[in-house]
Amino acid sequence: MLDPARFDAQTFLRDYWQKKPLLIRNPWTDWHNPLEPDELAGLGCEPGVESRLITHGADMPALEHGPLPEDRFDTLGKAPWTMLVQAVDHHVPAVADLIQPFRFIPDWRIDDVMVSYATDGGGVGAHFDQYDVFLVQGLGRRRWRVGGLCDDTTPLMPHDSLRLLADFQPVEEYVLEPGDILYMPPRYAHEGTALGHDCMTYSIGFRAPSLGELVDGWTEHLVDQPGDDDRYTDPGLAAQDNPGEISEAALARMHRMITERMGDTQAFARWFGEFSTSPKPSEIDWSPEEQFSPEDVQAALDHFPMLVRNPASRFAFVAGEGDAVTLFVDGQVYECDQHRADAARSLCANRALSISAEQARADSVIDLLTGLLNNGCIAFEGEPED
């Protein structure tokens, strides 16, 4: 965990979040590198795991997409290289634990933990991202050079796959040791270079939907709604002097049709809950071989002390009237009130939780847990008690 004496979340949010970079010298109460390099290399070779290999030659860096052949690392030679593996938190619980200290930022904003390994001199190159990221040094040392803000007009190098800056002008330079953190807001230029071998960095990235993504997703959702009754009508139509004119009244009526539908805040909240919890493609399938019945779940709760969330699943909720909430899990919607709402809030707040005896007696809670278990979003943890 982060030591509150060395890192204060409220001060960070006020002074740095989405404003300016911040170097945080080892704020952990007890830092341990959560993943060995060989384990990361193994993940990079697995089908279904998104990985990239960047090698540095005399000219431009070269990019290869995984899964990597197991013998690829034996052929890399002495030139600098770096491997990046996406969503490692979905596969390694100790890496998923790195997210917990940063949950003062809402879960729907958190993307995943990318892990990079680099040999001496290895790195991605100077670039900028469109999202916030905490760069946690896990093993070895890395030099970070930080530049100014970039935008869509910033010149890039002519590369087919990598968006590298053509003219990087660093203004700050830091060397990170294990446990150190560098926070980078969106669009700040930065470049990381490994100093020595066995350099591992954990990048905790955050999602930021663009206006285009929101408009595309929301309007596509509206268009896909069933029914053909929402058509233009003009029962008060009056004769026009010129039949070629699209009248101001007609335009206002059609504009109102669109804005009233698009301005439905409750419908938007429901859609965004589905949109923001839609999971990435994942090979992690916790679905049981045989589907649970509500009776199975109720009986199992007497023996299994804890439920745990699938690390690849996304949970969020939107508050409704009174104590009711709408729960969203992996793009699915669950309406919840009373005991079920309490269970939904607990599922969103905790990655592992115990269901109370009162909740276990509520049919609505059992139905919710049964659906989540059968969809592979949660699972029972541990062995049955004697």
Write the pLDDT tens digit of every residue in 110-162: 999 999 999 999 999 999 999 999 999 999 999 999 999 999 999 998 887 88
Domains 9-206 and 294-381 share a fold: no
The torsion region of residue 69 among left (phi > 0), alpha (psi -120 to 50) and beta comes to beta
Structure confidence by residue, pLDDT tens digits, 6-30 = 999 999 999 999 999 999 999 999 9
Rounded to 5 degrees, what are φ and ψ at 146?
A: -120, 135
Q: How confident is the model at residue 227 (pLDDT cuts 50, 70, 90)?
A: low
For 329-372, the pLDDT digits (tens) are 999 999 999 889 999 999 999 988 888 888 888 899 999 999 99
CB hemisphere CA count around 215 (13 angstroms): 5
Percent of the chain scoring above 70 in pLDDT:
97
Q: How many C-beta atoms surround the C-beta of residue 39 within 10 A?
A: 17
Distance, in Å, from the CA atom of 308 to the CA atom of 278, rounded to the nearest integer, reads 19
How far is CA 38 from its chain centroid?
Answer: 25
Residues 175, 141: Cα–Cα separation, whole Å: 7
Query: Which pair of tokens denotes residue 266?
Result: 């409750």
294-381 architecture in CATH? 3-Layer(aba) Sandwich (3.40)
Q: Scanning the structure block, which residue is given the tokens 């469109």?
A: 130
Structural domain boundaries in the chain: 9-206, 294-381
Given the structure tokens 């139905």, which residue do they identify?
367
Reply yes or no on whether the pLDDT at 386 is more than 60. no
Categorise residue 125: left if φ over 0, alpha if ψ from -120 to 50, beta otherwise: left
- Closest by CA to 320, choosing from 366, 269, 368, is 269
**Cis-peptide into 288, omega within 30 deg:** no
Work out the percent of the chain whose per-residue pLDDT is above 90.
73
The residue-averaged pLDDT of 57-75 equals: 84
Residues 84, 112: Cα–Cα separation, whole Å: 13
Mean pLDDT of the chain: 91
Architecture of domain 9-206: Sandwich (2.60)
In this predicted structure, what is the pLDDT of residue 383?
47
Burial 221-255 (b: 16+ CB within 10 A, else e): bbeeeeeeeeeeeeeeeeeeeeeeeeeeeeeeeee
Reply yes or no on whether the pLDDT at 213 is more than 50. yes
55 φ, ψ to 5°? Answer: -115, 150
- C-alpha to C-alpha distance for 260 and 247, rounded to whole angstroms: 20
Residues 247-293 pLDDT 10s: 999 999 999 999 998 999 999 999 999 999 998 776 678 888 899 99
